[in-house]
């Protein structure tokens, strides 16, 4: 048995740094693996909503389909258009991908657990920043550069339109998204995600106090992660495939990975901000409740994708600026009045 208290302080510090590294690696690996189950889930949901079976041939009930896709994407030829801005074209998927992973530096998955044999308490988050929610929103906003630059660097009109639409859409909906979070911050008196979840313990979930805020957050969130009904940047009906029309193989896979991780991020944020995080009936550990809620939101997003038609771009702007933004400002005002 180890006795951590009597150990050399230098060694303790090294162990702490190692622990953070291990957490970062574990979280990143989980996020990297997420598209495998999520693509399978998305196809099955799509299939059953459209009264068909979805993938069925690779493995029992098509369960090996994501692996087949992965192998296909890895071995496809990586094409760079002759007239593309080579350097930006190659780096754009990485610019899109890094921020969505960096967001998870401050996302808490639970409070803390004690490892049985060494009696060491381990927190279920990499770091608890006192500006957590601001950090998440700010870093997630950088991801849009990947989309814009990918669209511009491809030197193709469809991709460029995708990039342009994406930049306009992101700016419009980022405002509503952030303002929707302000109501929650006012209720919990803190910007730290851990404190926000703690303030909702014992079923005092923010959804009960901030239904309008949640509604705005959900719509703006769907727009922010470019999913139907707001998937203007990759509108395949009019733009081919939008910003990633010229991408193939692994660079395309990076964009896909970004989209799926962003969807998980928005689901996680919705759970943390409005649905009490890991709070739930006691018979299961907190992390299980947390995962259940996040998966429920992911299912909701997939459900919406195969239920609603796509909006027109001018409708998108109208919803963002003329409905969601005034509504979110009003929400902040009313929350402030009620708190006083």
Residues that bind another protein (CB under 8 A): 85, 88, 129-131, 134-135, 137-139, 141-142, 144-145, 148-149, 152, 160, 163-164, 167-168, 170-171, 174, 178, 191
In 3D space, the residue among 134, 211, 177, 165 whose CA is nearest the CA of residue 325 turns out to be: 177
For residue 46, cis peptide bond before it (omega within 30 degrees of 0): no
Chain centroid to CA 196: 18
CA–CA dist 4, 14 (Å, integer)? 12
DSSP state of 113: E
CB of 94 to another protein, least distance (A): 13
Q: How many CA atoms lie within 13 A of 246 on its CB side?
A: 29
**CA distance to 181, 239, 240, 316, 324, per residue, from 172 (Å):** 15, 21, 24, 9, 10
CB of 333 to another protein, least distance (A): 17
Strand, coil or helix: 124: coil
CB of 45 to another protein, least distance (A): 32
Q: Which residue, 133 or 264, has its beta carbon nearer to another protein? A: 133
- Residue 112: phi and psi, rounded to 5, are -160, 150
Residues in the chain: 340
Q: Which residue, 89 or 247, has its beta carbon nearer to another protein? A: 89
Chain centroid to CA 266: 4
CB of 171 to another protein, least distance (A): 6
Q: Which residue, 118 or 171, has its beta carbon nearer to another protein? A: 171
CB of 9 to another protein, least distance (A): 16
Q: Which residue, 153 or 263, has its beta carbon nearer to another protein? A: 153
144-153 and 249-274 are packed helices; what angle lies between their axes, rounded to 10 degrees? 150
CB of 134 to another protein, least distance (A): 4
């Amino acid at each position: 048995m180890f006795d951590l208290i009597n150990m050399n302080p230098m060694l303790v510090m090294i162990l702490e740094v190692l622990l953070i590294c291990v957490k970062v690696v574990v979280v990143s690996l989980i996020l990297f693996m997420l598209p495998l189950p999520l693509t399978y889930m998305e196809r099955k949901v799509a299939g059953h909503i459209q009264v068909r079976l979805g993938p069925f041939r690779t493995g029992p009930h098509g369960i090996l389909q994501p692996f087949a896709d992965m192998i296909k994407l890895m071995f496809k030829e990586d094409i760079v258009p002759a007239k593309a801005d080579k350097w930006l074209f190659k780096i754009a998927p990485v610019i899109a991908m890094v921020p969505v992973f960096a967001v998870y530096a401050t996302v808490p998955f639970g409070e803390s657990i004690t490892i049985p044999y060494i009696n060491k308490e381990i927190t279920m988050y990499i770091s608890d920043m006192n500006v957590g929610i601001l950090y998440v929103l700010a870093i997630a906003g950088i991801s849009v550069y990947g989309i814009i630059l990918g669209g511009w660097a491809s030197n193709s009109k469809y991709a460029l339109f995708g990039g342009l639409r994406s930049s306009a859409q992101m700016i419009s909906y980022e405002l509503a998204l952030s303002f929707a979070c302000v109501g929650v911050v006012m209720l919990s008196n803190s910007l730290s995600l851990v404190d926000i979840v703690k303030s909702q313990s014992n079923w005092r979930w923010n959804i009960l106090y901030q239904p309008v805020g949640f509604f705005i957050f959900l719509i703006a969130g769907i727009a922010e992660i470019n999913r139907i009904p707001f998937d203007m940047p990759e509108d395949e009906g009019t733009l081919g495939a939008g910003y990633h029309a010229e991408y193939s193989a692994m660079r395309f896979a990076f964009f896909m990975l970004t989209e799926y991780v962003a969807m998980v991020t928005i689901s996680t944020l919705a759970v943390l901000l409005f649905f009490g995080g890991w709070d739930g009936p006691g018979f299961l550990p907190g992390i299980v409740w947390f995962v259940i809620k996040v998966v429920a939101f992911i299912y909701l997003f997939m459900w919406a994708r195969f239920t609603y038609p796509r909006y027109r771009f001018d409708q998108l702007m109208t919803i963002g600026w003329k409905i969601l933004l005034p509504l979110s400002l009003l929400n902040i005002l009313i929350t402030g009045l009620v708190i006083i």
